Amino acid sequence: MKTDHKEGDSYTDRLFHWLKYQENLPIEYIKTIKPKVYQVKVNNHTYLLKGYRRAGVLKQQIDFFNHWDQASHMAACPIPFPDAAFTKSKLGCEWGLFEWLEGDHADFKSHYDRQQACYLLKQFHRSTKGIAILSIPRDPLYIKWERRLEDFESTQNVFNHFNKQTIFREIRAAMHQKLEGFSQYDWGEIEEKAWHDHEWLHGDLAHHNFIVNPSKGIRFIDFDLFHNGPKLYDQIQLAQRFLPYLENHRAALINYFPHADDQEIWLKGVLVPADIVREWLYGYRKCRSGDASMTLHMSKLEKAWENRKMFVRYAENMLR
C-alpha cells in the first residue's frame, strides 16, 4: 500500500510500531490528517485514529454515543479496536478509532449544503436532548467572546504598523457594543434550563465538520467541543459561519433559522462580530509563524468588515 508516511516522523513511527508489535493490532497507516490524527486501515476497512491529550474528552464522546440512538445516522461514531477496547493509552495520549466518512466537506457557498447543515443540526438537537451523562463544563458564549476580544485587542500593534487604526477601532467598538447588548440576557437562567433539560451542543460547526455524501446525505464529524448548553449557541455559530456567503442576500440568513429558540437573542448574537475576530486571530497566528502574508490577511479583514457593516445595518433595522 502506498502511503505518505515519512520515515523521519519518529512519533508516528513509534505509535504504529507499538500498535502492531506490542498491542498486536492489525492497524495500517495510510496518511496523516493533522498532528495525532491519522487515516488508517483495519482489516481492510478505513477509519480515523485520533489522539487526545485529555482522556476525559474522548471518554465523554464514547459514553455519549452509547446513549445516542440516532448516532449512526448523523455522525461518525467511535469504533472499538479489534480487541474490543474503545481506547488505548500511549505516548501521552488517549487514542480512539472513529468511522471514516467518504464524501466532501460541506460548502457553505451552496444553498443545498447550508440547508442540509441546518436540518442536521435541528435533528441533532432534537435527538440528543435528555441524554443524561456527565458533561465537561464550558463557559457561556459571551464569556468566550470576551476573551476573544481581549486577544484581538492584543494585536493592536499590527494595525498601527499598517496604519489601519480606523478598522481596529471600528471592530473593537462594535465588539464591545454588540457584546454588551448580548450579555445582558439572563444567561444564568438560560444555561441552567439547558443543563436541567440535558440539551447538547456540537460546539464546532465549521464547514469541515460536516461531511456531505450524495447517496447518504450529511453527517457530523469531530465532537471534541460538544457539551451541555443552550442550543441557541449552535444556532448562532452556524449562522455566523453562513454569513460571509449571505451578506449580499441579507434576508436569506433569517430564512435558514426559523426554528431558533428566540429570534431576537439569536439575531443579537449573530451581530456580534466574534466570527470576524476569530478569523483574524487564526490568520494572525499563521502569519506570525511565517505561514501566511500579513498584508494579504489585513486586506481580507478589510473586505470582510465592509461587507459585515452592510449586513449589520440591515439587521439592526429588523430589531427596531
Distance CA 237, CA 241 (A): 6
Tell me how far CA of residue 36 lies from CA of 12, 41, 83, 85, 219, in angstroms.
8, 16, 21, 19, 22
Domain shared by 135 and 176, yes or no: yes
In a domain, 65, yes or no: yes
CATH value at residue 196: 3.90.1200.10
Only one residue has cell 499598517, namely: 162
Domain shared by 223 and 88, yes or no: no
In a domain, 28, yes or no: yes
In a domain, 124, yes or no: yes
Domain shared by 78 and 164, yes or no: no
Domain shared by 82 and 143, yes or no: no
Domain shared by 152 and 60, yes or no: no
Tell me how far CA of residue 163 lies from CA of 167, 176, 296, 298, in angstroms.
10, 22, 14, 11
Domain shared by 162 and 60, yes or no: no
Domain shared by 46 and 159, yes or no: no
93-99 and 88-90 beta bridge pairing: antiparallel
CATH value at residue 91: 3.30.200.20
In a domain, 183, yes or no: yes
Confidence (pTM):
0.92
pLDDT in the model for residue 211? 97
pLDDT in the model for residue 1? 39
Pick the closest to residue 205 from 124, 308, 84 (CA basis). Answer: 124
Only one residue has cell 448574537, namely: 269
Distance CA 41, CA 81 (A): 11
Domain shared by 73 and 95, yes or no: yes
Domain shared by 48 and 129, yes or no: no
Q: Are 113 and 107 in contact (CB under 8 A)?
A: yes
Which amino acid, one-letter code, is at 34?
Answer: K
- Domains: count for the chain: 2
Judging by beta carbons within 10 Å of its beta carbon (0-12, 13-18, 19+), is residue 189 exposed, middle or buried? exposed
In a domain, 179, yes or no: yes
Domain shared by 148 and 174, yes or no: yes
Residue 16, domain extent? 10-100
Only one residue has cell 495520549, namely: 93
What lies within 8 Å, CB to CB, of 32 at 6+ separation is 4, 5, 9, 12, 38, 39
In a domain, 46, yes or no: yes
Q: Which DSSP string do the residues of the chain spell out, in sequence order? A: ------TT-HHHHHHHHIIIIIS---EEEEEEEETTEEEEEETTEEEEEEEESSHHHHHHHHHHHHH-TTHHHHB--EE--TTS-S-EEETTEEEEEEEPPPSEE--TTSHHHHHHHHHHHHHHHHHHTT--S-------HHHHHHHHHHHHHTTHHHHHHTT-HHHHHHHHHHHHHHHHHHHTS-HHHHHHHHHHTT-EE-----GGGEEEETTTEEEE---TT-EES-HHHHHHHHHHHHGGGTTTSHHHHHHH-TT-S-HHHHHHHHHSTHHHHHHHHHHHHHHHTTSS-HHHHHHHHHHHHHHHHHHHHHHHHHH-
Domain shared by 221 and 248, yes or no: yes
pLDDT in the model for residue 315? 77
Q: Are 61 and 78 in contact (CB under 8 A)?
A: yes
Phi and psi of 78, rounded to 5°? -65, 145
pLDDT in the model for residue 8? 44
pLDDT in the model for residue 247? 77
Domain C-terminal end among 74, 100, 126: 100
pLDDT in the model for residue 111? 94
Q: What are the pLDDT tens digits along the chain (320 aa)?
A: 344 444 348 899 999 999 999 999 999 999 999 999 999 999 999 999 999 999 999 999 999 999 999 999 999 999 999 999 999 999 999 999 999 999 999 999 999 999 999 999 999 999 999 999 989 889 999 999 999 999 999 999 999 999 999 999 999 999 999 999 999 999 999 999 999 999 999 999 999 999 998 776 899 999 999 999 999 999 999 999 999 998 777 778 889 998 887 889 999 999 999 999 999 999 999 999 888 899 999 999 999 999 998 888 877 776 55
Domain C-terminal end among 50, 73, 100: 100
45-52 and 200-201 beta bridge pairing: unpaired
pLDDT in the model for residue 319? 59
In a domain, 230, yes or no: yes
In a domain, 1, yes or no: no
Domain shared by 153 and 302, yes or no: yes
93-99 and 200-201 beta bridge pairing: unpaired
